[in-house]
Amino acid sequence: MKEPFIFEWDGRALVPATPYDLERCQRFKKGQRLKADKIVKPRSLPMQGMYWACLSQFVAATECVPTAEHLHNLIKMKMGYVTPAVMPDGSLYWIPDSTAFDKMDQEAFNEFVSRADKWCAETFGASLLQAKEAA
């Protein structure tokens, strides 16, 4: 996969975020129109870490599943973040979708975490996001 260009919004235009991005943009002619298929906000590493810390604390407090990874997969399955697949015998099964940085932008991840928190509260009677605060 090609490395994406990173830009910042300066209030008027998207400008290269780093000297490296500026250097890579030099191959384009001034005034040349470019098409971007998708503009995404990069994911926050601290938010990712906070989510996994909350999962771990939630599992420790509730013992609802064996590990944070189990809870993460359960959340994805129960909230519909799945892809259907068919076995050779025709039976259907579900594969949990990825929440990796290259699969889910920050806005989508924020929505996922919010929905996960709500689902945990409804299912287990405890907030996922407050689990870390309680520890």
Q: Give 73-89 pLDDT, tens digit per residue.
A: 999 999 999 999 999 99
Q: Is the pLDDT of residue 22 over 80?
A: yes
Cβ(79)–Cβ(116) under 8 Å? Answer: yes
Percentage of the chain with pLDDT > 70? 96
- Position 132 confidence tier, pLDDT thresholds 50, 70, 90: low
- Position 39 confidence tier, pLDDT thresholds 50, 70, 90: confident
Q: Give 103-117 pLDDT, tens digit per residue.
A: 998 999 999 999 999
pLDDT of residue 134: 60
Write down all domains in the chain, each with its CATH number in brackets: 1-39 (no CATH), 45-134 (1.10.3790.10)
Whether the predicted model's global pTM rises above the 0.75 cut:
no
Q: Give 40-62 pLDDT, tens digit per residue.
A: 777 889 999 999 999 999 999 99
Looking at mean pLDDT, say which of 4-18, 36-50, 97-111, 112-126 comes out highest.
112-126
Mean pLDDT of 63-67: 96
DSSP for 26-49 reads: TTSPTT-----S---PPPPHHHHH
DSSP for 50-113 reads: HHHHHHHHHHHHH--SSSHHHHHHHHHHHTT-EEEEE-TTS-EEEEEPP--TTTS-HHHHHHHH
Mean pLDDT of 113-125: 96
